[in-house]
Amino acid sequence: MAPRKGLGAPALATVGATSDHGRNPQTNAIDDQTRRIVLVGNPNVGKSALFTALTGHHVTVSNYPGTTVEITRGRLRIGSDNAEVVDSPGVNSLLALTEDEQVTSALVASLRGNPNAVVVQVADAKNLRRALLITLELGQIEVPTVLDLNMTDEAEGHGFEIDTQGLSEALGVPVCRTVATRARGVEELVAAISRARVPLNHFALPEEARPAVARLKAGVASELGAVDLRVVARYTEALLARADSLVKSYVRRRRGPTGAWLHPDRLAHVLGALSVHPVWGWPMLFLALGAVYLFVGRLGAGTLVDLLEHGLFGRLINPAVGALFARVPWPFVRDLFVGPYGLVTVGLTYGLAIILPIVATFFLAFGIAEDSGYLPRLAAMLDRLFRAIGLNGKAVLPMVLGLGCDTMATMTTRILATRKERLIATLMLALGVPCSAQLGVLLAMVSVVPASAACVWLISVMATVVVVGWLAARVLPGQVGLFVLELPPMRMPGLGNVLAKTAARVEWYLREAVPLFLVGTFLLFVLDRVGALPGLIRIGEPIVVGLLGLPREAAEAFLIGFLRRDFAATRLFDMARGVAGLTTIQLVVSMVTITLFIPCIANVFIIVKERGWRVAAAITAFVFPLAFAVGGLVRWAMVAAGTWGVR
């Protein structure tokens, strides 16, 4: 390989980062002009943490595989040069088997022959064998590489001693040691980038495995035939044998994991074992759900909403803005901001006073769950239950993520192995998984109805999800992949990481959801001013009044529910607390109907992007009528039961 241009003394600087939303993996190819540093490695080895340490730009880091499903780019200043740093989805092998692995495979394959591209392979120092599989593959692709042994603190805690120098000589690449979460060793790593070399791969490859190398260099497609897969398996076996001999030569384990019972590592290990235990795993699960309910449902949706809605907005902001606009001589402007469909009195109050505290507390709880490593264990616990709806336990990850945001979760369905699973998971997310904002409002609504009525809501939604999933599993062609999921070690969540993640998500909410709230409010305002709202309400009357038995005004809520269902839920909640109020049956029917709505317009767009417009159109045409039909059915059943009144 030709000598590389020196990069000078490392001096880290932040310039920023972007995510490749909407880009096709094949177009992630890198041009030859700019110096590119591509972070590659197994899932959950700290690539995103290293990306943050290198660029200073926060990206979501979690303790479960599948956090990064897209390419993220940032900038790093090295001396006087600017370099682009690219974070890629984690892979177990560059011979991609899943859609998310394909993104990285195509990216790495595109680096061949680019003299300005360097791969920094991030490895979990405790688990070198599997990392070396990728190093050897990088050697086959012939891409200059630096091997970064990350999490060396944990490896030392587990008693591993790695001969870095020997390993570097055997592989022919610089080998560095880092603790990315604490930015330890990062400057040395940057300095080593100028010495990147193609990893040596002088070992005998079985003849039958050779076609895999060509495939590796080309950046393989994810749908492989049986013959190809056999070749891939044989090839991987040969590389692992080489990796084993390297590990045997350069890694020693002097002692076991730290022995003290109260050592955090040991406690985390015990907790991890308990959380997937056949018996104790279930109380742990209910304990976790209970804690989330108390934190989000009571603290977020109760105390904090009260403080913001009645305190800050009710007593300070809204009266002040009302007084300000009272002096405005034009009723149109006055009504636009502080009227019954006012941007401040409705749009901002809903977005900031009611939804914000709920999503903030949910994101905080979710961040803790993510970083602890509990989510993959939850997947292992629920694998068998998910089989009933044509999915396997791996689908728990997008489903739980959907409780945060269905739009983001729809992208995470890429971690599922087959098209059928991805399709069912996308449908389930659109149909029955409420996002954090909506969940919070629903929990608040639950608190004003009797427990039996709340059960009707829960059972109706769950039954709809199970029946639709069960039918989809039988109607849709294709296979369900086998459940094989890596369980990362349980860890004490880092306060800084959890808070930074929560802040990033809250910012995302403020940027994406609040403007849509304002647009929805403005839409209602305009419709009201031009006199079209009564007409639309009349059109919706047969469904809203006739089928669902709700007041005519509820049609407004469902109308804006097409934009964001949490906005609609908030509107219905507001109606319930109003002068006329809603009966128990009306509340439950509206809760069921709005829960089953497609989450938001952004979710439809992401389905178009991920699965194509046909699927998006089919899901939209299926979900909305189904939501109204189930709502009508629930109303009929509740009236027939006669327990909750007659309306």
Partner 1 sequence: MKTTCPLCAFEYEPGDESCRASGCPFASKACRKLHCPRCGYSVPDERASALARLVRRLLGERPRVERVQREATDAPFRLSEAPVRTRGAVSHIDAAPALSAQLAAQGIVAGTVLRLAQRHPAFIIEVGETVLAVERSVAHSVWIHPGDPTVADSQEPHA
Footprint of partner 1 on this chain (CB under 8 A)? Answer: 92-93, 95, 97, 124, 126-130, 133, 158, 160, 224, 226-230, 232-233, 236-237, 240-241, 244, 247-248, 251-253, 256, 273, 276-279, 281, 376-377, 379-381, 383-384, 392-393, 417, 482-489
Q: How far is the CB of 386 from partner 1 (least distance, A)?
A: 11
Among 192, 153, 177, 148, CA closest to 39:
148
Nearest distance in Å: CB 127, partner 1: 5
Shortest distance, position 146 Cβ to partner 1, whole Å: 21
> Which of 211, 19, 3, 25 is closest to 110 using CA atoms?
25
281, two tokens: 């795993």
Nearer to partner 1, 308 or 395 (CB): 395
Residue keyed to tokens 């682009």: 84
Q: Which residue number, 228 or 574, has a Cβ lying nearer to partner 1?
A: 228
Residue number, 224 or 506, with CB nearest to partner 1: 224
Structure tokens at 489: 């070690």
Closest separation in Å from C-beta 258 to partner 1? 14
Q: Please say whether the beta carbons of 349 and 313 come within 8 A.
A: yes
Q: DSSP code of 126? A: G
Closer CB to partner 1, 227 or 530, in the complex: 227
Instruction: Give per-residue burial for 6-41: e unless 16+ CB within 10 Å, then b.
Output: ebeebeeeeeebeebeeeebeebebeeeebbbbbbb
Nearest distance in Å: CB 468, partner 1 = 23
Alpha helices in 97-255 (DSSP H): 99-109, 128-141, 152-157, 164-171, 186-192, 210-218, 226-250
Q: Report d(CA 51, CA 217) in Å as an integer.
A: 25
CA trace torsion 628, 631, 632, 636 (10° rounding): 170
Q: Kindly tell me which of 283 and 625 has the beta carbon lying closer to partner 1.
A: 283
Q: Which of 425, 454 has the CB closer to partner 1?
A: 425
Between residues 380 and 523, which has the closer beta carbon with respect to partner 1? Answer: 380
The residue whose two tokens read 């109760």 is 302
Shorter beta-carbon distance to partner 1: residue 488 or 540: 488
Write the DSSP assignment of 551-586 as a string of letters. -TTHHHHHHHHTTBHHHHHHHHHHHHHSSS---HHH
Query: Using CA atoms, how far apart are residues 282 and 381, in angstroms rounded to an integer?
Result: 8
β-pairing, 117-124 vs 145-150, is parallel
CB 226 → partner 1: shortest distance, Å? Answer: 5
Q: Indicate the DSSP class of residue 196.
A: -
Compute the least distance from the CB of residue 6 to partner 1, in Å: 34
Residue number, 55 or 412, with CB nearest to partner 1: 412
Distance from C-alpha of 372 to C-alpha of 387, rounded to nearest angstrom: 26
Q: How far is the CB of 212 from partner 1 (least distance, A)?
A: 10
CA distance 111 to 73: 15
Whichever of 226 and 530 has its CB closer to partner 1, that residue is 226
Least distance to partner 1 from the beta carbon of 248, Å? Answer: 5
Shortest separation between residue 237's beta carbon and partner 1, angstroms: 4
